[in-house]
């Protein structure tokens, strides 16, 4: 491990006592330190490979189990994988952002974004993640109709965290925005918010697993018929299951720490694709809404800066 990483780990390690595996307690918000944001963790790392994929988002409205309305191109998504190194260390950067286009959805503006940075060569978990999602309270079709054409102040939920020397710190908070963003500029918004010290106390978790995007990529590249990957999201522990099917399809299931089902989805991968990025994603976002993300190079990609601070020329 390089000296910069060792110094960061030592400083953070001094901030908390050793806890039992997966034990959690509240800590001071002042534990925010350099390296907590994904783009800070990989400072000095040089990117040497990258992959990206753009998606068209299609939506289907479901009522009483029957699809009553389908619309193509209601939004989009962008995914990226970056690999590189710094001396003896290897790093991985992951990005996924998706959302609706208000101009095509009667003003409805919903989006989410996640970014992960992992030092894969670290002896103990060394990672940072940040993500946000617009606050969506539409639990049925009627409340979804009322949310259309709204110009209310935007509210987002921000989750971030970092790990070093087996100790994980996470923060979650809800923030109001007077200047609404969309999924296309969500990376800029995330960078802005993740650079600010948290306003809420941290959760400390000892010996926690890595973040979601990293777990998803490991499962996608796994040769096993059923891959199980633990992950951490918004200060909570989950388990990802990805089961192989014919034609590159995988059935995905997410369980919470008690084993209860939290989400189901389907993904498709191209043969011999080392990126770990799917070509199709199907997800039941709400009881009344199914979303399909189809790989489409015609979709305009948002401006997203590399998670790595340097690139091979």
Residue 24 lies in a domain: yes
Quote the pLDDT of residue 107: 80
Per-residue pLDDT of the chain (313 residues; tens, 9 = 90+): 444 444 334 323 322 222 223 333 333 344 455 457 888 889 899 999 999 999 999 988 877 776 777 889 999 999 999 999 999 999 999 999 999 998 888 788 889 999 999 998 877 778 999 999 997 665 544 554 455 555 556 889 999 988 887 788 888 999 887 788 899 999 999 988 888 888 888 888 776 688 999 999 999 999 999 999 999 887 788 999 999 999 999 999 999 989 999 999 999 999 889 999 999 999 987 777 889 999 999 998 888 899 997 765 4
Q: Is 220 among the domain residues?
A: no
Within-domain flag for 305: yes
User: Which pLDDT value is given to residue 148?
Assistant: 52
Inside any domain, residue 181: yes
| Owning domain of residue 91 | 3-208+300-311
**Number of domains making up the chain:** 1
The label of the residue with tokens 């976002």 reads 285
Q: Is residue 63 part of a domain?
A: yes
Whether residue 276 is contained in a domain is answered as no
pLDDT at site 96: 97
Q: Residues 275-308: pLDDT tens digits?
A: 999 999 999 877 778 899 999 999 988 888 999 9
Indicate the pTM of the whole model: 0.83
pLDDT of residue 49: 94
pLDDT, residue 74, reads 92
Whole-number pLDDT of residue 153? 67
**What local confidence, expressed as pLDDT, does residue 86 receive?**
92
Does a structural domain hold residue 160? Answer: yes
Residue 92 lies in a domain: yes
């Amino acid at each position: 491990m390089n000296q910069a990483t060792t110094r960061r780990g030592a400083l953070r390690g001094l901030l908390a006592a050793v806890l039992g595996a997966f034990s959690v307690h509240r800590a001071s918000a002042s534990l925010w330190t350099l390296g907590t944001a994904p783009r800070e963790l990989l400072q000095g790392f040089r990117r040497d490979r990258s992959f990206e994929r753009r998606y068209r988002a299609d939506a289907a409205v479901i009522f009483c189990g029957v699809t009553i309305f389908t619309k193509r191109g209601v939004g989009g998504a962008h995914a990226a994988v970056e690999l590189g190194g710094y001396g003896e260390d290897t790093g991985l950067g992951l990005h996924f952002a998706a959302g609706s286009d208000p101009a095509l959805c009667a003003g409805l503006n919903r989006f989410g974004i996640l970014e992960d940075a992992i030092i894969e060569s670290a002896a103990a978990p060394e990672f940072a993640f940040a993500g946000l999602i617009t606050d969506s309270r539409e639990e049925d079709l009627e409340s979804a109709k009322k949310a259309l054409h709204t110009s209310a102040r935007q509210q987002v939920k921000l989750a971030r965290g970092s790990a070093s020397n087996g100790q994980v710190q996470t923060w979650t908070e809800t923030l109001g925005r007077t200047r609404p963003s969309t999924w296309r500029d969500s990376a800029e918004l995330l960078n802005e918010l993740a650079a600010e010290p948290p306003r809420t106390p941290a959760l400390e978790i000892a010996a926690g697993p890595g973040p979601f995007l990293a777990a998803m990529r490991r499962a996608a590249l796994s040769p096993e018929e059923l891959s199980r990957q633990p992950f951490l999201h918004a200060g909570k522990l989950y388990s990802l299951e990805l089961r192989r099917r014919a034609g590159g399809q995988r059935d995905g299931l997410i369980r919470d720490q008690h084993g209860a089902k939290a989400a189901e989805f389907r993904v498709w991968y191209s043969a011999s694709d080392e990126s770990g990025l799917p070509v199709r994603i199907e997800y039941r976002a709400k009881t009344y809404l199914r979303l399909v993300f189809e790989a489409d190079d015609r979709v305009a990609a948002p401006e997203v800066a590399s998670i790595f601070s340097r690139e091979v020329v």
